[in-house]
Structure 1
Amino acid sequence: MKSAQVKLPEMRAEGISALRALSDPDYQQRVWIDRIYPKPNFYDDFTLNVNTLYDDTTVLADPEAALGYTLASEAEVRAMRMLADALDSALESVGRAASDAEFMASGSWPGVVASARDALATLTEWSEFARSARHAQAVRAAFPGSCRRRLLRASPV
């Protein structure tokens, strides 16, 4: 799928941000539990990221419906389905009213982190491809024939 076919790239970026948070236990401890925020007027927690992925972007509520809007491939749909399964399992085993610390201490949390890492890798792989494709398109537009071919071969694409 081409980058132009993802209709909601800003919403996709929000989803990727939530995946970064869910895939990083050090960040979770520092920000969600210890409340050491990276800048003033910043807030983040488990619930905010879950709401972003289920409600705001709907990539976990219905990954198939997000294809073409915020997800770019069937591989991304599968990765988000796996994360949804892991999160649903954690929410059921720990309880939806549990604290962030209780979720992180649960036996199901490593599965959530692993699934979020896999999903993040899948989505950012596409994002890297889209950036490299945009780079190649910009080089083609800016430079003539033989010069362009040399630039594209030298590019880390």
Structure 2
Amino acid sequence: MASLSQGTFIKYILELISKNPDKDSREIKRDIELEDDSSLPLRRYFIGENDPVIHKVILNVFSGLREVFYQEWEDPNKFILSKPIGFGAIIKIFPKLYIVGVQKNDLSREFFISEFSKIKTNLDKKGITITSDNYGSNEQARTDLAKDLLEAYSEI
């Protein structure tokens, strides 16, 4: 399996928590209460020091993803889903999945399996595969993959 550096993991997860991590860090050190931001789905858990919830939600997302896109996740020589581009694209679409999950009061692994199954079905119908042949390895590729994943999700 492809490895994802700790730095890449943190960089992308931070996108779900803070728009300005340095400012947040300074405010935490000064005991200034951070403000919530509804555009950052994991921020309220961070502010509430509820790291176990963040861990569980991220674990549910990626174990659900692996279940549905098993081949794409387990074969990094052919597919890019378990590489930084794929991981980053999933983080980009997470806010949409999160909103649906909150509306359904369900952020379980089974919820994410259900939602990713819808995406996979639509990608398969269109003949879209998550390979480096279809997506490069830069930030634009991440954006393109996220766009295709969101379009597949919106077609439901």
**Structure 1 length-normalised TM:** 0.30
Structure of greater Rg: 1
The structure with the largest helix share of the pair is 1
**TM-score, structure 2 as length reference:** 0.30
